[in-house]
Amino acid sequence: MKNSEDKLKAARLLREKAEERLKEKALGMTLNITEVRAVKLIHELQVHQIELEMQNEELLSAMEQKEMATEKYIELFDFLPSAYFNLTKEGNVIAVNLSGSQLLGKQRIKLINSRLGFFISDETKPVFNIFLNKIFKDRVKESCEVVLNVKDTRPTYVLLTGIISEDPKECHIIMVDFTERKLIEMELIKAKEQAMAASKAKTDFLANMSHEIRTPLNGIIGFTGLLMGSNLDKSQEEYMSTINESANTLIHIVNEVLDFSKIEAGKLELEISETDLFELSNQVIDLFKYQTLEKKIDLILNIDPQIPQFVQADVTRLKQVLVNLISNAVKFTYSGTITLDVTETPTSNKYYSTINFSVRDTGIGIEEANNEKIFKSFMQCDSSTCRQFGGTGLGLTISNQLLDLMGSKLNVESKFGEGSNFFFTVQFKKSNQSATKASENGSSGNNDSWSTLSPLNYNKILVVEDNKINMFLAKTLLKRIIPNCDIIEAVDGNDGIEKYTKEQPDIVLMDIQMPNKNGYDAASDIRKLKGAEKIPIIAMTAGILTGEKEKCFEVGMDDYMPKPIIIADLVRILHKWNKKQVETKHLL
Ligand code: ADP
């Protein structure tokens, strides 16, 4: 009580003193101030007052601007299309914008202090934890993709981007919903998988179909070939050769379609082996000798004698490209010359040879506008070409794709009405085999060399083949070559093993695709039988599946013969594995 009275007393005293001082000041001023000075002072006061008013206005406007900026920031923060979170080290929410609360489906107030990890799916939670740790540990910008567990219907895919804040105990996170994109992406992947499965089914179907179509065609080709060599009158011979040609054309089309689908499905692989370029070029030319003779066109092979005779190449595919080009040249040339040029581009490379091939003709030529079109699948120069010359429009596409596998490309130079030149260059790995050595050991595969060998001395030949027509053809051809020979027939692999054991033949001709037991398994089982270690087993293969030939050798077969079986091949094989010769080989 006393204390408060003292305080009041002190305040009263202070007030009295202050009033006294003010009186003294006023007295002093009136004493010293002149009239002029007073006017000046008033002026200064007025200026100060205006100054203060102006400063006040500025202050008010600055405050207004600050308020507006804050409002804008809040608007931006809230209506930003991406969600924003301010998180602690532990992942607790300090601040969140409207988009963030909408994305998580919770009121903002309820999100504050709750853990963001709580909204993330169990599968992606570890990803989120690593992401958060890295932001605080490495202090760099980080991103990751996680799935939110927020909607009942479907998962929400979000992209998180985070960075440490000015306060190192906090971080800023931006969250973007990319569910729509992710769903489209997943659908695309599914569609791609389905398309790939469909493509595989198509290739498998084509491979099967081609086998089914080839088998009867092989029969037609084989038997018409045999009949053509018999005594026929002129019109019968004509009919027969028409059937033979048609069947050959059909088989060619089937092969083209199959090759095309295999290349499309990425299933075609090159089979590299020692290749004789001289032999290959001559063989290709030989194939067209008859046709060009009939059309009175000159067919010339210009092979530079300096090129290496042997290189590492896929002989079948290289031949296929050249056959395609020459077959087109023959088709589209009415008179003049077709030339196959084979030359080498000199190089200092020890391991590779650069070989140039060119097929020139003096045919109808190609209009410049069509130069690119002809390399596209199923494309011909114009629709009348198809009617006039036939063809699938696949030949050049396949040739180009095969060359692509060899690291090369088909080029064309053509003058409409004057002729065309199709050319390409391939780098082949050099072979160790020298030209002289090859001709010495006779491995050039020249059929003529067999004619000088001793007579065939097979007593029993086992033919394992499920298809009746093919069996009949093989039997007929064998009877022609060795009339006195016993031919034992087996209808599948199991039957083949049984007949082998019972009959002990001198050679086995083995089909590959057969029911119950295929040719690979049957050959491998026969090879294990006592006394069968050295019996020649020859595969009869359509050669349509990749690695078929290699597999034949792997299972212990000695050689293979392409289907359709033609007499020249059979003669060659029979001589090569002639009993006496084989024995001599083993003695040596
Ligand atoms: P096709 O099976 O129709 O011959 P290709 O792909 O081999 O298919 O050829 C496509 C087209 O290119 C042919 O239809 C033809 O119009 C044109 N062509 C190809 N080679 C020649 C050539 N030597 N001379 C003229 N035109 C050619």
User: Is 441 among the domain residues?
Assistant: no
Choosing from 126, 152, 177, the residue where a domain stops is 177
CA 374 to ligand 1 center in whole angstroms: 7
pLDDT at 427 over 60: yes
- Residue 327 near residue 288, CB atoms below 8 Å: yes
Q: What is the 3-state secondary structure (H, E, C) of 157-168?
A: EEEEEEEECCCC
Question: Is ligand 1 within 6 A of the CB of residue 396?
Answer: yes
- Residue 113 near residue 93, CB atoms below 8 Å: yes
User: Is 453 among the domain residues?
Assistant: no
Residue 2, judged by CB atoms within 10 A of its CB (0-12, 13-18, 19+), counts as exposed
More confident residue, 440 or 353: 353
What is the number of domains present in the chain? Answer: 5
CA 327 to ligand 1 center in whole angstroms: 9
According to DSSP, the residues that pair with 156 across neighbouring strands are 148
Whose C-alpha lies nearest to ligand 1, atom 20? 328
Do 401 and 306 belong together in one domain?
Answer: yes
User: Is 289 among the domain residues?
Assistant: yes
Please report the atom of ligand 1 found closest to the CA of residue 333: 24
Mutate to test the pocket of ligand 1, among 257, 328, 330, 398 (most ligand atoms within 8 A of CB): 328
Q: Determine the length of the chain.
A: 588
536 preceded by a cis bond (ω within 30 of 0): no
Q: Is 91 left (phi over 0), alpha (psi -120 to 50) or beta?
A: left
CA 385 to ligand 1 center in whole angstroms: 8
Name the nearest CA neighbour of 361 among 379, 384, 382, 335: 335
Which residues constitute the domain of residue 88? Answer: 80-177
User: Is 502 among the domain residues?
Assistant: yes
Q: Please tell me the predicted confidence (pLDDT) of residue 438.
A: 41
b/e per residue 87-113 (b: at least 16 CB within 10 A): bbeebbbeebbbbbbebbebebeebee
Question: Is ligand 1 within 6 A of the CB of residue 385?
Answer: yes
CA 288 to ligand 1 center in whole angstroms: 17
Mutate to test the pocket of ligand 1, among 259, 327, 394, 396 (most ligand atoms within 8 A of CB): 396
Element (H, E) at 275: strand 273-276
User: Is 30 among the domain residues?
Assistant: no
- Which residue, chain included where needed, has tokens 């001559």? 282
Mutate to test the pocket of ligand 1, among 249, 330, 380, 410 (most ligand atoms within 8 A of CB): 380
CA 540 to ligand 1 center in whole angstroms: 33
Question: Is ligand 1 within 6 A of the CB of residue 260?
Answer: no
Q: Please tell me the predicted confidence (pLDDT) of residue 313.
A: 94
pLDDT at 553 over 60: yes
Do 59 and 134 belong together in one domain?
Answer: no
Phi, psi of 465, rounded to the nearest 5 degrees: -160, 125
Q: What is the CATH number of the domain that holds 144?
A: 3.30.450.20
Do 208 and 355 belong together in one domain?
Answer: no
Over the stretch 119-161, which tens digit does the pLDDT of each residue have?
Answer: 999 999 999 999 999 999 988 899 999 999 876 667 899 999 9
User: Is 68 among the domain residues?
Assistant: yes
Question: Is ligand 1 within 6 A of the CB of residue 336?
Answer: no
Over the stretch 305-322, which tens digit does the pLDDT of each residue have?
Answer: 889 999 999 998 899 899
Do 112 and 165 belong together in one domain?
Answer: yes
Do 330 and 214 belong together in one domain?
Answer: no
More confident residue, 20 or 527: 527
Question: Is ligand 1 within 6 A of the CB of residue 361?
Answer: yes
Q: What is the CATH number of the domain that holds 393?
A: 3.30.565.10
Name the nearest CA neighbour of 88 among 168, 198, 208, 27: 168
Chain centre to alpha carbon of residue 528: 41
Do 69 and 84 belong together in one domain?
Answer: no
Choosing from 15, 50, 77, the residue where a domain stops is 77
Do 395 and 279 belong together in one domain?
Answer: yes
Do 310 and 418 belong together in one domain?
Answer: yes
Contacts of 140 by beta carbon, 8 Å cutoff, 6+ apart: 134, 163
Mutate to test the pocket of ligand 1, among 259, 332, 333, 372 (most ligand atoms within 8 A of CB): 332
Q: How far apart are CA 49 and CA 329, in angstroms?
A: 106
Do 66 and 84 belong together in one domain?
Answer: no
- Residue 147 near residue 124, CB atoms below 8 Å: yes
Question: Is ligand 1 within 6 A of the CB of residue 364?
Answer: yes
Q: How far apart are the first and last CA of the chain?
A: 139
Q: What is the mean pLDDT of residues 100-108?
A: 90
Question: Is ligand 1 within 6 A of the CB of residue 557?
Answer: no
Q: Please tell me the predicted confidence (pLDDT) of residue 447.
A: 41
Phi, psi of 533, rounded to the nearest 5 degrees: -60, -35
Element (H, E) at 460: strand 460-464
- Residue 404 near residue 387, CB atoms below 8 Å: no
pTM listed for this prediction = 0.53
Element (H, E) at 8: helix 2-32
User: Is 165 among the domain residues?
Assistant: yes
- Residue 243 near residue 216, CB atoms below 8 Å: no
Please report the atom of ligand 1 found closest to the CA of residue 363: 24
Question: Is ligand 1 within 6 A of the CB of residue 329?
Answer: yes
Over the stretch 336-389, which tens digit does the pLDDT of each residue have?
Answer: 999 999 999 998 888 899 999 999 999 999 988 887 777 775 565 565 555 455
Q: Please tell me the predicted confidence (pLDDT) of residue 525.
A: 94
Do 259 and 300 belong together in one domain?
Answer: no
How many C-beta atoms lie closer than 10 Å to residue 228's C-beta?
14
- Residue 344 near residue 313, CB atoms below 8 Å: no
Report which listed range, 34-43, 80-89, 242-251, is most confident.
80-89
What does the DSSP assignment read for 336-399? SEEEEEEEEE----SSEEEEEEEEEE-SS---GGGTTGGGSTT--SSHHHHHHH---S-HHHHH
Whose C-alpha lies nearest to ligand 1, atom 11? 380
Q: What is the CATH number of the domain that holds 516?
A: 3.40.50.2300
Choosing from 380, 411, 430, the residue where a domain stops is 430
Query: Percentage of the chain with pLDDT > 70?
Result: 87
CA 393 to ligand 1 center in whole angstroms: 7
Residue 257, judged by CB atoms within 10 A of its CB (0-12, 13-18, 19+), counts as middle
> What average pLDDT is seen over the chain?
84
CA 328 to ligand 1 center in whole angstroms: 6
CA 359 to ligand 1 center in whole angstroms: 13
Q: Please tell me the predicted confidence (pLDDT) of residue 163.
A: 95
Q: Please tell me the predicted confidence (pLDDT) of residue 489.
A: 95
pLDDT at 585 over 70: no
The tokens for 432 are 């160790």
Task: Give the Cα-Cα-Cα angle 468, 466, 532 (nearest 5 degrees).
Answer: 125
Do 115 and 143 belong together in one domain?
Answer: yes
Question: Is ligand 1 within 6 A of the CB of residue 244?
Answer: no
User: Is 118 among the domain residues?
Assistant: yes
Q: What is the CATH number of the domain that holds 249?
A: 1.10.287.130
| DSSP class of 118 | G
pLDDT-derived band at 435 (thresholds 50, 70, 90) equals low
- Residue 85 near residue 173, CB atoms below 8 Å: yes
CA 380 to ligand 1 center in whole angstroms: 6
Do 415 and 291 belong together in one domain?
Answer: yes
